[in-house]
Structure 1
Amino acid sequence: MIHNFTTDQQVNHRSIRQFKDQSLSAEQLTTIYQAARHTSTSMFLQQFSILHLTEPKKQAAVRKIAEQPYVGAEGDLFIFIADLYRNQQIRHQLGNDDGRLHTTDIFMQAVEDTILALQSALTAAESMGLGGVVLGSVKNDPDKLIQVLGLPKMTFPILGLQVGIPDQEPQLKPRLPLNQITFDNDYPRDFSINDLKDYDQLVTTYYDLRDANKRIDSFTNQINGPKLNNHKTSRDMLLQALHNQGLALE
């Protein structure tokens, strides 16, 4: 592997969930925004927006939805939004109809723009010595989140991002081996769970060292457990919430 500042920063990424009680400076915010703004965008549609939540009531409401105590607490909370409203308004104000804006294809392009922008923002934050954690949990109740944020139709919150000055130094979480996720030309169908024995041991050791009093099993046992077992959650309403926003209708 080639080592430089950027690659070392990326492969040593750790999710930070505990921050010092200090907000980002205006210069740090601008840097994060500029990095997100210049991210690759599908068809130059630029279908994302960022909400920076600074109102304590909104922070608390999102924290309640996410059910995680650090969300909207120390540091700065951002919600990254797939935004087709802006382009809808451009078309309307130029005398046109919505065209393909309600299709799943265009919505997926907005999702891609949004996720890429978030990753650029996080990379920029970490380059300044800040830490961050990506928050899928903000969508635990998508309809409620849309209401709390006051979002118009044709927008949808995709992910949250909490950024701040790290107040913890977590271990580097082991990822799947490269030979399990990278392939040349053809996708292999001869997968065997036995190929993950060494990785399972790494994951078990990681959790044992992190919290010896709370037994968390191997990677394969986690995949085979409650995370993916059949059960109803509020996130099962995501498709209906999307449709309520006028998105991915066809």
Structure 2
Amino acid sequence: MNKTIKVQLNHKSIRAFKDKKVDKDTLNTLFEVANRTSSSVAMQSYSIIRITDKEKRKKLSEICNQPYVETAPELLLFIVDGFRNAKISQAMGEGINNGNDMDKFFQGFTDGAIACQNMVVAIESLGMGAVYLGSMLNDSQAVIDLLELPELTFPIVGLGFGYPDQAPQLKPRMDLSLKVFENTYKIQDDYLESIREYDKEMKTYYDLRDTSKPLDEFSKQVVSRLKGENKKRSGILNVIGDQGFNFKLKD
């Protein structure tokens, strides 16, 4: 097992950081790592916004309902970016044609997500820690307005990172037999029985966001999550449409 895999197998979300800046050379290297990530048909249909403005960070922290969004040494937002290629096409005397369809949207979404993960591997290899911020989608329209995102762009995921000031437990994961299949999808005979040991294991994990008690069993977490609804997140397709993407739900 090499050093990179050891780092990956020890991945933990870090939400508390030392008061230490990430130097410019390191930051540039991390951006180069993201830039070298594979992208669908080489269209590179994503961009990264580094957020340094204190007021914008504060507002994003409120949207995410997470204080560490404001205090992380570095804060990035990965976005779908169909705008740039549309402008290139227009400069070539063409329209956007199908540049706003769902195929292009998901190309950009996947490109940005892969680039973000690639950057996290590099961040952790350098002794730093990171936290993904899916909470940027709590109110995607507010994020779009705050960061002045043009048409044919859309938030994918946020990323906070820096030098760790905490040492959380390694969070349990369900057995690979429930997630890795061969040739076809395997439906379990009894899902509660399949995760019985995992449920027990989750009861031993203490999340540093609330050290007073261990987490509920995974099965209870599933029920709680599926019962809950964030109406702004549930309506996210409306915001994507307002950004100029065409779902083409009907021929």
Q: Quick one: distance in 2 between partners of 1:97 and 1:191?
A: 52
Give the superposition deviation at 1:249: 2.8
Distance in structure 2 (CA, Å) of the matches to 1:223 and 1:111: 25
Q: What TM-score does the superposition give when structure 1 sets the normalisation length?
A: 0.94
What does residue 216 of structure 1 align with? Answer: 215
Gap regions ≥5 residues in structure 2: none
1:201 and 2:204 aligned: no
**SS at structure 1 position matched to 2:239:** helix
Indicate yes or no: 2:106 matched with 1:108: yes
Show the 5 A alignment for 1:178-197. Answer: 178-192=176-190, 193-197=192-196
* Displacement of 1:64: 1.0
Provide the secondary structure at the position in 2 that maps to 1:71: helix
Q: Do the aligned partners of 1:65 and 1:140 also contact (CA within 8 Å) in 2?
A: yes
1:83: which partner in 2? 81
Amino acid at match of 2:149: L
Find the aligned partners of 2:217 and 2:84 in 1 and give their Cα distance.
Answer: 45
Partner of 1:228, secondary structure, is helix
Query: Could you tell me whether the CA contact under 8 Å between 2:132 and 2:160 is conserved in 1?
Result: yes
Please say if 1:246 is aligned against 2:244.
yes
User: Alpha carbons of 1:211 and 1:66: their partners in 2 closer, same or farther (altered >3 Å)?
Assistant: closer
The reply on whether 1:71 has 2:92 as its aligned counterpart is: no
Identify unmatched segments of 5+ residues in structure 1.
none
**1:214 Cα deviation from its structure 2 partner:** 3.2
Q: Secondary structure at the match of 1:188?
A: coil
Does residue 11 of the first structure (1) align with residue 9 of the second (2)?
A: yes
Alpha-carbon offset, residue 152 of structure 1 = 0.4
Letter in 1 for 2:56: K
1:161 match: 159
Contact 1:63 1:69 in 2 (8 A): yes
Q: CA deviation at 1:232?
A: 4.6
Task: Check the 8 A contact 1:22/1:74 in 2, yes or no.
Answer: no
CA distance in 2, matches of 1:212, 1:63: 22
Return the alpha-carbon distance in structure 2 between the equivalents of residues 25 and 70 of structure 1.
20
- Contact 1:47/1:110 (8 A) holds in 2: yes
Q: Check the 8 A contact 1:142/1:237 in 2, yes or no.
A: no
Q: How has the CA–CA distance of structure 1 residues 211 and 69 changed in structure 2, closer, same or farther, with 3 Å as cutoff?
A: closer
Q: TM-score, normalised by structure 2?
A: 0.94
Is 1:39 matched with 2:28? Answer: no
| 2:23 corresponding residue in structure 1 | 25
1:189 deviates by: 1.9
Q: Residues 191 and 115 (structure 1 numbering): CA distance in 2 closer, same or farther, change over 3 Å?
A: farther
Q: Name the count of aligned residue pairs.
A: 247
Which residue number corresponds to residue 235 of structure 2?
A: 237
CA distance 1:236–1:38, change in 2 (3 Å): same
Instruction: Say if 1:31 and 1:212 are closer, same or farther in 2 by CA, change over 3 A.
Output: closer
Check conservation: 1:77, 1:163, Cα contact below 8 A: yes
Cα 1:8–1:186, aligned 2, differ >3 Å: closer, same or farther? same
